Structure formats: structure tokens, C-alpha cells
Structure 1
């Protein structure tokens, strides 16, 4: 049974491709421990895309943030690049494209997504997030 009390976790990660796997596994553990395993597969996909973009397209540190409140799971990635993300294309239009599918997947698989400029520990950057609503 999902918890009704709000909670939040932040995982600070280095600019290292291995951080994507660490983030995905950490997210699954968090969701399992809070009774939200029904959201784990989709949440892992979304977190993978957000963290992979943060690691691939920036040079600095990043962070994965996971928050549960009011039946909504928010997954976000902070990175040190203040430039807005490229607007996602329609997933169907991407066909067999090797790149550019990340935010298209996020838009297609989440209930809501967005981004905002953000400053953390004196570093400018951005926070790209998405939300999943629990059907429990």
C-alpha cells in the first residue's frame, strides 16, 4: 500500500555514465520500500532518460530528486547547464532515430513534465522533471 505521508530523496551524482545505473537502481529501491512498486518500471525509464541527459549533455555534477506527495510521484534531474532542454519531438516522428528520443519518451510516458532554471550550491543549472500519478 502506498504511503500517504509526503517524502523526498535527493541523490547527488558525478558526471559519469555509471550514475545512470546507480540512479535507476536507487529509485527502484526507494519505490519498493515505500510500497510504490507498481510505478517502478515507468519511473525507472523516466529517471534513466532524465539522468542520462544530465550526464551526457553537461560537464558538471547532477542530482536525481524523487518526491511523493498527494498521490503524485515527481522525478527530476538537476544539472549544471542553465540552457533549456531541446523541446521534445513527437515520438512517432523519430522513427528509428538513435538520439533525441529521451524527452520524447518522458513526454509520452509521464502525466506531466517540465523544466525550470535552478541554482544549487551557487551553481546555475536547470531542473527537468516529470510526474506519475498513482492509480492505487
Structure 2
């Protein structure tokens, strides 16, 4: 396993089209980023969380999206930007979703991350939102 050479913060942004295949591209890109920074131990959970966030961004909006990954002070933040300014549906529980495959994404994000949230964004006249979660490294 590669060792992290430095505790210096870093950040990557992957801009993706509105295409369901972007979820797979995002997961594989995230895995590569974590491997190269010696954080592969966070890979499985981070991939799951990224897939849920990107999937929501692609499935529930019509425009482009982006995956953003940031490491700082032992915290990995994974977020998805999309062009829809509407807030995400509040996460329910797995029991509320029943057998339905819909409505479990943010419940999964809430259950598997240390912290999660969202914020509206306005930039260059474009509106949208950023939904994020954090994993704290237990190195």
C-alpha cells in the first residue's frame, strides 16, 4: 500500500455529464485518487458514498454535475454538485423505504458518514446545490 507522503490538504473535482455511466466513472476515479494518496482504507465506504451522491445528482437533475473530493486535517470530504437548486429530500430510514430501491441514498449517506449536509450554490449566475459527506480517518 502506498503511504501518504504528506498531510498537506488536496482537492480534486471531476466534472461529469448527466449520464448514469458517470457514477461508475466517479467511483473508479475516487478509488484511484485514494490509492495514490495512501488512503485506500477509506475506499470501500468512500466509493459507496460517492456513488450515492453522484447517482442522485445525475438521476434527479437535467444538467451537468461534478464530484468533488477534498482531504484536509484527517477528514475526507466527498461531495456532488448539480445544477438543481432544490434541496435534497431529507433522508428517511431504511425501514421507511421498505422494499423500494428509491429513497435509500441519503439514508445510507447519513448512516455511513461521520457528517453530511448540503448547501445552495450560486456562481456566475448559475444556481445549484452541493451535497456532501465526511469521513474521518482513523489512521
Shorter-chain TM-score bucket reads: over 0.9
Counterpart in the other structure of 1:62? 65
Greater shift in the superposed pair: 43-52 or 84-93: 84-93
Q: Aligned residue pairs: how many?
A: 136
Give TM-score, length-normalised by structure 2. 0.94
Q: Where does the alignment leave 5 or more consecutive residues of structure 2 unmatched?
A: none
1:110 aligns with 2:113: yes
Counterpart in the other structure of 1:77? 80
- RMSD of aligned C-alpha atoms? 1.0
Q: Where does the alignment leave 5 or more consecutive residues of structure 1 unmatched?
A: none
Q: Distance in 2 between matches of 1:92 and 1:37?
A: 31
Counterpart in the other structure of 2:51? 48
SS at match of 1:52: helix
Instruction: Give a deviation string over 1:38-65, Cα, whole Å, max 9, x none.
Output: 0000000000000000000000000000
Counterpart in the other structure of 2:26? 23
Instruction: Give a deviation string over 1:95-125, Cα, whole Å, max 9, x none.
Output: 3222110000000000000000012443200
